[in-house]
Copies of this chain bind each other. A is one copy, B any other.
Amino acid sequence: MDEFELIKNYFRKLTTKNPGALNLNDDVFFDKKYKIVLSIDTYNEGVHYVNFKNPELVIKKVIRSSISDLICKGVKPKYFLLSATGNKKHFNKKNLKLISKSINEEQKKYNILLSGGDTSVSKISSFTVVSLGISKKIVRRNNVKKYDDIYVTGNLGDSFIGLSILKKKININNKFNNYFIRKYFLPDLPIILHKYLIKIANSSIDISDGLFADLNKLINNQKIGYLIYLDKIPLSKNLNNYLKKNHKESLNFISKGDDYQVLFTSSKKNRSYIKRLAKRINLKITKIGTTTNIYKQRKIISHKSHLKSLIYQGYSHKF
């Protein structure tokens, strides 16, 4: 059974009296009265990160991945709590110094504050991060409208190449290996977008499991379809070069997740505003498709005018 079935079958029914739990369907808890927005995520060595050889990068990745849950809801991340699990080797003095330094840098970069945590012993390292923001409103999932434009921030796919390099499945050269590995560990969070998202987005999610997996989660069982234009999906120059040189198709690289960009839908009437906004705040925001009124039409259109169907939909934990 995958994690979504698990939640649906065993946990969702426990939250029927708790509107803030959002049916366990939105990656955050939201208490409207007290303006509390909370997310919790656990990252395990060997699953969410390959190993603990770069503690200074792992810790940044888990913090960014956590605050991404709030950014994509239009909420400013304010506080975070960190529960760190591991053994003497993980938490030797050298690593602790690196971890502490990284946390300090992330605090400054994103204007967030370490607010508590826990430390415990285990053979395998693991981190649980809780992010907390204060907001009267959030942008929900499953609130997509028909004929919305579909947007994504930043570039997709770099992170997956980085992971493949770390797993020794891909090897380019030192310079590009480093570029992609950094993108894997240090996603460029579109933090500034949190200020505008409530105004422009009907519905939103961050891309952690893969563009299409997350798009399907965003729409969920709404009676809405989509058309995505493969050629519109924003790729970095480095990824484009890699694909061309190696005669690879982008579709295999943009659906693997770990991008931590925001995927949102917005009414057509906002189109010119969003274009101007993107320029003004210096953030790459790309229209990659539209939603439709045909429930079962969830298609990706390539430049060859072929309709593609996806086999790999994205990452999910299997139990």
Q: Chain A residues in contact with chain B, CB under 8 A? A: 1, 3, 6-7, 9-11, 13-15, 17-18, 20-22, 24, 27-29, 31, 34-36, 38-44, 46-48, 79, 81, 83, 85-88, 90-93, 96-97, 99-100, 103-104, 107, 113-124, 126, 128, 130, 132, 134, 317-319
Contacts and interface: CB of A to CB of B under 8 A. Distances in A.
B121 A44 contact: yes
Contacts of A107: 14
A118 B6 CA distance: 11
A48 B18 CA distance: 29
B114 A42 contact: no
8 closest Cβ pairs, A-B complex = A29-B116, A18-B113, A128-B128, A29-B115, A10-B100, A91-B319, A42-B83, A10-B96
A305 to B, nearest CB: 40
Given A11-B100, A15-B115, 13 more contacts: A14-B107, A14-B114, A17-B113, A18-B79, A18-B114, A24-B117, A28-B116, A34-B34, A41-B83, A48-B120, A85-B126, A122-B126, A123-B124
Contact of A81 (B29, B85, B93): B29
Interface of A is mostly: mixed
A104 B17 CA distance: 12
B126 A38 contact: no
A15 B114 contact: yes
A21 B112 CA distance: 12
A135 to B, nearest CB: 11
